[in-house]
A and B are shown apart, each in its own frame.
Chain A
C-alpha cells in the first residue's frame, strides 16, 4: 500500500524477509481483514456476494497454478483435472461417509497432490511445451477415468450432488455465510503461499525456474523440488475444486474441462507470473471481465442494436472484447496486472514531489 518507508532501516536478513516489510503494514493488514470479514458481507447484496464468491474460488486455484508456473517455471494445462480430482474425492467422502468439510477439503487436496505427483514425474526429462502436452494428456486421462469408473463418478451423468457445508451442525446456506467460509480458505491459501515462497523450498523453486542447471550445481535436488511444486500446486487445485463443488452443490465432470485449465492459465499470466497479488488480480479479472462487459453492453448496446439483435450479438461481442482486453493488458504491461499495480504504487510513493 501507500506507505512512507522513510526511516525504516533493515539490519538483518530476517528483517528483510519478514512477512510485514514495514511496521505500519500490520495495521494495514488488520484494516483489510476488518473490511473483508466484517464490512463486505454486510454491505453487499446477495448478487454481489455471489460474484465475489466465484472470484474467491478462482483465487485459490490461481495461487496453486502460480506456484507451479510462476515460481517453479513448470507449465501445466491440467489444472481443471486436478480440481476435478479434489472435487470427486470430497464428493464421495461426503455422500458415502458423511464426512464434514474440515476432513473433505484437506482430503480432496491431498488426493489431488498425489495425482499431481504422478503427473509431475515426466517433468524431470521434459520441459516447456513438451511438458505442456504431457499435462494435457493428464487432463484428458483424468477426465476419461472419472467418466468411466462409476465408483468415482457415482451418480447419473457423472455428477454427484453434495449438501452445503455445515458448521456445528448448522448448514451454511446464505451467500454471506458461504463468503466467510470461502474467505477462511482463501486467507489460509494466501498466507501459506507467502510463507512458502520465502522458505527454503520456495527459494529452490525460484532457482529452478531461473536456471535449472545452475540450481542443480548448487545442490538442489531438481527432481524432488519439481515434484514438490507439482504436489503443492495440485493440492491447491484440489482444494479449489472442493470449494467450487461446495459452492455449486455439485461435482460434475463438465465443470472441470480443458477450457477451465486454459482460464486458470490466463489468470496467472494476466495477473503476473510469480506474484501472489498477481494471482488475486488475475483471478478477479478473468472471472469478472465477462460479467462486466455484459453489463456495459446491455447498458450501451441498446443504442446500436434492436433487442433481438442485442441478445444475439452481445455474447459474441463479449468474447471479442474479452480477448481484446487480454491482449490490451498484456501489451500495456507484459508482466501482468501485478506489475501495473506496482507501477501505480511507485508513482504515488514520491507523490506529490516526484521529479
Chain B
C-alpha cells in the first residue's frame, strides 16, 4: 500500500519538475519559438531520425550566424511517433510555448492541425506530404507545402520521361507502379490526364502494403507490358525491392524514375549498394549530396564545438530535406522581421514573410521557389538526380511541368475536401 503511494508521489513530483523546467525556458525576451513536431519512432522513423536533427542543426546554425537580426530561435521538439492524437497534444503544447511557426510531420497530422493553424494564426510547413490542395494559399492560408506535391511530382515525372524518350510520348508505354495506399494513388489522376494529352499508354501496377514482395508486378511490367519508361511511387522497404527486381529482370534502371520517397541513400543501400542501382533516377525536392556550402558550414560549426558529426548527415537526401524545411522557415522569419522593422513578428507577419520567398536557393540546395499568397507550393519544383558511381549526380536542372494540369487537380481536390 505505502509502496503504491510512494510511486504515485514520485511520479507527481517528477511531472511537476518537468513542467517547471519547461515553463521557465520559454519566458525570455527576444526569442522566436519554432515548435518542431517530429517522429523519431513509429513507421516513418527512418526519415524522422535524420530529418529532425537536420532542422535543429540549421536553427543552431542560424543562431550562431545571427541570421535573424537581434533574435534567437528557440526550437523545442515534441515527438509524436506518427500518431494523430499525440500530434494534437504536441500542437497545444507548442502553442502554449508561444510558437508562431511549426514544421509538421505526416499527412494525417497535417489534416488534423490545418483548422487549428488557421484559427491560431500559426504557420505550418509540410514539405513532401500533407494536403495536395494546400498549394492553394487562398483556401489554406496558414499551410505551406513548400515542396512539390504528389500531383506536381507525377507531372514532373512525365515531363522527365518525355525528355528522356526524345521529346515525344506519342504511342509510348509508361508503367506507373505505386504503393497501394492513398498517398500512392494520389498522382494517378494527373498522370491519366497527361496520358490523354500526350498520347501515351498508361498502365498502373499496385503494390499492397507492406510491399516486401513485388515479384508478380515486376514480371508483369518487365515481361508482359514492356514499358518505355517506369514511374515508381513506392515507400518504405519497397523501393529497394523494386530496384533489385528491375535489375534481376534485366530492365534498364536508367528508364526508371522514383518519386521523392523512393529516392534516398537508404533505399540504394538496402537494394544492395550503389553498384546495383547504377542509372536509377531519383526525384528530389531538395538537393541531394554533400556539395553545398551550408553543409560545410554546419560541419565547421560541429568541428568548432569539438563535437562529432551527426550520424544522419551521411543520408544526405533526408538530412538536406530537413535543412530545406528549416532554411525556408528562417528565411520567412527574416522577411517577417523586415516587415515589422524588428518588432516581434506575429503569425500573420510570418505568413506574409513566407509569401515573399522568391529565388532563395541556399547555394543550390533549395529550388528557385516563387511562393506567393496564391501558390504556397512555390511552383512545384523538382530535380532529378541519377545514381552514378558512388553517389547522386544531377541529371537535370530544377524544373516544373504541366502546371495547368496540376492546378486543375488541385481545384478538383478542393471540391472533395
Contact = CB atoms under 8 A, between A and B. Distances in A.
Chain B contact residues, majority secondary structure:
helix
B93 interface: yes
Interface stretch (B14-22, B26-34, B283-291, B342-350): B14-22
Contact of A344 (B4, B49, B82, B84): B4
Interface stretch (B108-116, B170-178, B377-385): B108-116
A157 B416 contact: no
Interface in A144-170: 147, 153-161, 164
Interface stretch (B62-70, B181-189, B272-280): B181-189
Interface stretch (A8-16, A26-34, A217-225, A311-319): A311-319
B98 interface: no
A255 B413 contact: no
B182 A158 contact: yes
B21 A250 contact: no
A318 B42 CA distance: 12
Interface stretch (A105-113, A116-124, A200-208, A297-305): A297-305
Interface stretch (A47-55, A71-79, A181-189, A226-234): A47-55
A156 B4 contact: no
B201 interface: no
Interface stretch (A126-134, A272-280, A284-292): A284-292
A311 B15 contact: no
A157 B186 contact: yes
A182 B107 CA distance: 25
Contacts of A340: 4
A164 B119 CA distance: 12
Contacts, number: 147
Nearest to B119: A173
A44 B83 CA distance: 25
Interface residues of B, number: 54
B196 interface: no
B88 interface: yes
A18 interface: no
Quick one: which of B81, B83, B111, B133 has the most chain A CB within 10 A?
B111
A46 B78 CA distance: 18
A100 interface: no
B119 to A, nearest CB: 7
A335 interface: no
Chain A contact residues, majority secondary structure:
helix
A295 B22 contact: yes
A179 interface: no
B115 A161 contact: yes
Interface in B152-196: 180-183, 186
A349 B88 CA distance: 41
A247 B91 CA distance: 14
Contact of B17 (A173, A299, A319): A299
29 contacts: A46-B95, A47-B96, A51-B89, A147-B180, A147-B182, A156-B132, A156-B133, A156-B417, A157-B107, A161-B114, A248-B88, A248-B112, A252-B107, A255-B85, A255-B108, A291-B86, A291-B89, A292-B11, A295-B15, A296-B18, A298-B18, A308-B56, A308-B310, A312-B49, A312-B53, A315-B79, A318-B79, A343-B1, A344-B1
Interface of A: 45-47, 50-51, 54, 147, 153-161, 164, 173, 244, 247-250, 252-255, 259, 287, 290-292, 294-300, 302, 308, 311-312, 314-316, 318-319, 332, 340, 343-344, 347
Interface of B: 1, 4, 11, 14-15, 17-22, 38, 40-41, 49, 52-53, 56, 77-79, 81-86, 88-89, 92-93, 95-96, 106-108, 111-112, 114-116, 119, 131-133, 180-183, 186, 310, 413, 416-417
Given A344-B1, A344-B4, 8 more contacts: A45-B96, A54-B88, A156-B132, A255-B108, A291-B89, A294-B78, A296-B18, A299-B22
